[in-house]
Amino acid sequence: MAAASPASPARVARSLSVRRMESRYGVGLTESQPSVPTTARPRNLVQGMIVVSSSLVLAALPLFMVGGLAVQVKADLGLSEAALGAAVTIGFVVGALSAPIGGRLADRIGPKTSIYIGSSLSVLALAGLGLFVDGWAPLVAFLCLAGLAVAITDPGLAILVNRAIPESKQGLAFGVKEASIPAATLAAGIAVPAIALTVGWRWGFAIGLLPWLIVITMLPSLRTDAPPRVVTSDDGRAPRTPPRRRALLLASIAAAFGTAAASGVGIFLTDSAVAMGSTPAAAGILLAVGSVTGIVARVGTGVMADRKGGPQFRLISLMLAIGAVTMALGGTGNPWLLVVGTVGAFTGGWAWTGIFFLSLVRVFPDRPGAVAGIGTAGLGVGNAAGPLLFGVVAQTSSYGMAWLAAGIVAAVASVLMSLARRQF
In the chain, list all ranges with CATH 1.20.1250.20.
Answer: 42-223, 241-424
Residues 150-194 have pLDDT tens digits of: 999 999 999 999 988 988 899 999 999 998 877 776 766 666 667
Instruction: Work out the pLDDT band at 3, boundaries 50, 70, 90.
Output: very low
Q: Which DSSP symbol is given to 226?
A: P
CATH superfamily of 42-223: MFS general substrate transporter like domains (1.20.1250.20)
According to CATH, the superfamily of the domain at 241-424 is MFS general substrate transporter like domains (1.20.1250.20)
Between these two residues, 192 and 27, which has the higher pLDDT value? 192
CA distances from 350 to 67, 88, 230, 261, 320 (A): 19, 20, 31, 9, 8
> Over 70: is that where the pLDDT of 419 sits?
yes
Rounded Cα gap, residues 153 and 158, in angstroms: 9
Gap between the Cα atoms of 56 and 75, Å rounded = 29
Q: Which of 13-27, 77-91, 230-244 has the lowest mean pLDDT?
A: 13-27
Q: Classify 74 as helix, strand or coil.
A: helix
Residue 356, φ and ψ in degrees, nearest 5: -65, -50
- Where does the pLDDT of residue 96 fall: very low under 50, low under 70, confident under 90, or very high at 90 and above? very high
Q: What is the pLDDT of residue 192?
A: 63
Provide the percentage of residues in the chain whose pLDDT is more than 70.
Answer: 82
Residues making up the chain, counted from first to last: 424
Taking only the tens place, the pLDDT of each residue in 114-134 is: 999 999 999 999 999 999 999
3-state SS string for 343-357 = HHHHCCCCCCHHHHH
Amino acid at site 149: A
Asked whether residue 97 carries a pLDDT value surpassing 90, the answer given is yes
pLDDT tens digits, 142-151: 999 999 999 9
Residue 31 in this model has a pLDDT that exceeds 70: no
Please state, in angstroms and rounded to a whole number, the distance separating the CA atoms of residues 364 and 344: 30
Residue 291: pLDDT band with limits 50, 70, 90: confident
Closest Cα to residue 21, out of 366, 396, 404, 390?
A: 366
pLDDT recorded at residue 189:
64
CB burial readout 348-373, b (16+ within 10 A) else e:
bbbbbbbbbbbbbbbbbbbbbbbbbb
Distance CA(164)–CA(223), nearest Å, equals: 6
Between 43 and 280, residue with greater pLDDT: 280
- Are the C-beta atoms of 153 and 56 separated by less than 8 Å? yes
Q: Given this model, what pLDDT does residue 29 score? A: 35
- The conformation of residue 244, written as its DSSP 8-state character, comes to G
What is the rounded average pLDDT for all residues in the chain?
Answer: 84
Write down the pLDDT at residue 400.
93
